[in-house]
Structure formats: C-alpha cells, structure tokens
Amino acid sequence: MEHSSILSSTKVPEAWYAVQTRPCAERSTAAILTHKGYEVFYPVRRRPHSPRLESPLFAGYLFCRTSKHVCGRIVTTPGVVRLLGIPGGPEPIPDEEVEGLRRMAEQSDPEVQSTLGTKVPELATAQRVRVLHGPLRGVVGQIVGEAPRRRFVVCVQMLQRAVSVTLDPRWLQPESQAV
C-alpha cells in the first residue's frame, strides 16, 4: 500500500519536456510513455494526398508532461535517447509553446509544415507577433519572409526548430502592441 502511494504522487504532471527518440521510433515511444501514464504530445502532419498517412512534425522528437523528479523514468523507456536541456539536466518547455504547436498540428491546412532546417538564432531578428483571428488566435510567434506572403512561426526553443503556417498579415498584431 505504501509503495502505491509513492507511485501515485510521482505521476503529478508539472511541465512539458522535449524527448529525443531513436529515428522512426516516435510513434512507438509515444505509445509506451502513454501506457506508462504520462501525458504525451506527438505532433504529426497529415499528407495531403493520403490523409491516413502521417509523418512527425519534428522527426525524432515528442513532448512529455511530467515532474522533473521522475524524468529518469522517461529516459529508461525503450526508444528514448534523452531529454533535451542544459548540462545540469532537462529543461522544461513553456506551456504556451506546446499549446501553439498543438493548435498548428490540429489544422488540416497543407501549409502547416516543419521548417526543420531553420535554427532559432536565424529567427531572432524577425518581428514577434500575436495572432488575433483564426484557429491560432492568441498564439505568439515570429514573422519571417516578405509581404504579401508572410509566415507565422511558432518556435520551440529546446528543439531549435520552428513550425510555420501562412496567415493573412491583417490577422497579426506586433507583440509590443498586444494586450
């Protein structure tokens, strides 16, 4: 009895962490972590011509919500390579970033794509904006590209990658003006 109360107290989710997986092991690793009782977010994109086929939005990565004190249990899961972070340990990802990715992954818009070659430092000079309308309303990101075709980008700092979607520039407000 005492042992089960210790286990239940360790399952209290606190923060999202980026989990690096073995190549092509994202789906199976997500299933194992879910079976272990973790909240897992494995963002995928549907292929336009084959909606039943999907591919990971971030190849080799998924997200897991847990307490920093039980991260060791995640690392021992088959398919997991490591949790991303700093040399001292795993680093949590802000809920807003994961929520932004979740909203983008839920869209059926074929414009949603992974810009896996885009490193976050290259985006540092882009203007930060908040989306005012549509399914991404409230999400904050950065603009890259030139008018009239702008890209709204939600950055996942830990992965140093970005997801982009084309939005009408009238739907965007500079972050400095956002309330």
Structural domain total, the chain = 2
Does pLDDT of 163 surpass 80? Answer: no
Distance (Å) of CA 127 to CA 56, 57, 174: 27, 24, 7
What does the pLDDT look like over 82-100, one tens digit per residue? 999 888 888 899 888 888 8
Residues 6+ apart with CB under 8 A from 78: 28, 29, 32
Q: Which of 68, 57, 61, 59 is nearest to 19 (CA)?
A: 61
User: How far, in Å, CA of 162 to CA of 1, rounded?
Assistant: 46
> Which residue in this structure is represented by tokens 């890209």?
151
The CATH number given to whatever domain includes residue 71 is 3.30.70.940
Note the Cα 142 to chain centre separation in Å. 15
Give the residue ranges of DSSP H helices in the chain. Answer: 2-10, 26-35, 71-75, 95-106
* Res 13: pLDDT: 52
118, 83: one domain? no
Name the CA radius of gyration of the chain, rounded.
18
pTM as predicted: 0.69
120, 55: one domain? no
User: Would you say residue 102 lies in a domain?
Assistant: no
* Res 114: pLDDT: 47
What does the pLDDT look like over 94-146, one tens digit per residue? 888 888 888 877 765 555 554 443 444 333 345 788 888 777 788 888 777 65
CA dihedral 38, 22, 52, 37 (to 10 degrees): -10
51, 88: one domain? yes
Last residue of a domain, one of 62, 93, 124: 93
Mean pLDDT across the chain: 75
123, 75: one domain? no
158, 85: one domain? no
The CATH number given to whatever domain includes residue 118 is 2.30.30.30
Domain of 120 in residue numbering reads as 113-177
Most confident of 47-51, 52-56, 175-179: 52-56
Yes or no: say if 123 and 162 are a contact pair by the CB < 8 Å rule: yes
Phi, psi of 98, deg, nearest 5: -70, -40
User: Would you say residue 34 lies in a domain?
Assistant: yes
User: Would you say residue 100 lies in a domain?
Assistant: no
Strand order in the sheet with 172-174: 113-115, 161-166, 151-156, 140-144, 128-131, 172-174
Residue 61 pairs with which residues in a beta bridge?
Answer: 20
User: Would you say residue 171 lies in a domain?
Assistant: yes
